[in-house]
Amino acid sequence: MHIDILDVFLVLLPSRQVFRRPNTASKASFLPPPPPPPPPSSSSSSSSSSSSSSLIYAMAVIHQLPISATIAALLAQLFGVVAMVLMFVWVLHFRGGINLGAENKSHIFNVHPFLMYVGYIFLSGEALMAFKIVWAEGWMQKLVHTVFNLIGLALAILGVYAVFKFHSDLNIPNVYSLHSWIGIGTISLFGFQWLMGFLLFWYPRATKELREKLAPWHALSGLVLFLLMICAAETGLVEIAAYDRLRRGEESRVVNFTGLFILLYGAAVTFAVLYRSSSNVI
């Protein structure tokens, strides 16, 4: 059984008889027909059917491209590490350092973006790609996936604790911004997702039928949560740039490039994950 996000879309697609799952054994021969042209007077339901057909077509085309999950995953490592270096430069060089117990409150705050990217987003991205980049048996890939996500969650909680501490030390209210709403929502859902995954796939472990049914949904919601983390990071960076009134200058360039490379990391991880899986992991 493949854990494949494509499965979810194939289930959702109204005209799914048009598209068949690509045959991994003969990828080159899988040429999905183009989506049917929209009717002249398209109603809302037919237009949504046509747009989901286009989506499936686009996803199926990914499997035809002369680029593999491995290349996408390698690009992801490159973008992810560049974003990490930029994050280091930002918090250490421009903002004085990271220290949860510091007298200087901004050093306490710096723990937040640092852990949210390096600890949470990067580790979650690696966990998502574990089924592509860990050259081991399915159960080992699954273990890496589970453990990386758990460490990411723990570091995210520590990262949010840092900003709560910073706020309470300076008497700043908590959870007032759009960024914090997206962030707190994402972490809560992520915790729930991890727990459900553990109960379903590890202990007490659901029946094979149920696991097969829910695995694509687990994969899809994991990817959506990962993209929400990226949104949270982008809004966080914009917020700090606005709050500190960063105008054109070295620090603002570092912040902008950090955001861009986090976005690129998200895009490359998404590409690697959407590319067909060939492992038997559930």
Q: Is 271 in the site for ligand HEM (CB under 6 A)?
A: no
SS3 (DSSP) at 165: helix
**In terms of CB distance, is 219 or 233 closer to ligand HEM?**
233
Q: How many CB atoms lie under 10 A from the CB of residue 243?
A: 9
Span from 28-36, 62-70, 176-184, 213-221 in contact with ligand HEM (CB under 6 A): 176-184
Which backbone phi and psi does 100 adopt, to 5 degrees?
Answer: -70, -25
**CA 91 to CA 97: how far, in whole Å?**
6
CB 37 → ligand HEM: shortest distance, Å? 41
Q: Please, which residue, 69 or 232, has the CB nearer to ligand HEM?
A: 232
Give the whole-angstrom CA distance, residue 13 versus residue 9: 6
* Cβ atoms of 208 and 222 closer than 8 Å: no
Indicate the residue among 137 and 250 with the shorter CB distance to ligand HEM.
250
Q: Compute how many residues bind ligand HEM; rule: CB under 6 A.
A: 27
Binding window for ligand HEM (CB under 6 A); candidates: 52-60, 127-135, 192-200, 231-239: 231-239
User: Site residues for ligand HEM, window 92-121 (CB under 6 A)?
Assistant: 112-113, 116-117, 120-121
Q: List the one residue from 100, 227, 240, 254 that touches ligand HEM (CB under 6 A).
A: 240
By CB neighbour count within 10 A (0-12 exposed, 13-18 middle, 19+ buried), where does 38 fall? middle
Of 264, 280, 219, nearest to 84 by C-alpha is: 264
Q: Nearest 10 degrees: CA dihedral of 282, 209, 203, 198?
A: 60
Q: Are 152 and 119 in contact (CB under 8 A)?
A: yes
- Considering only 107, 167, 218, 276, the residue that binds ligand HEM (CB under 6 A) is 167
Binding region for ligand HEM (CB under 6 A) out of 51-59, 92-100, 132-140, 230-238: 230-238
Give contact residues for ligand HEM (rule: CB under 6 A): 112-113, 116-117, 120-121, 160, 163-164, 167, 174-177, 179-180, 183-184, 186-187, 229, 232-233, 236-237, 239-240
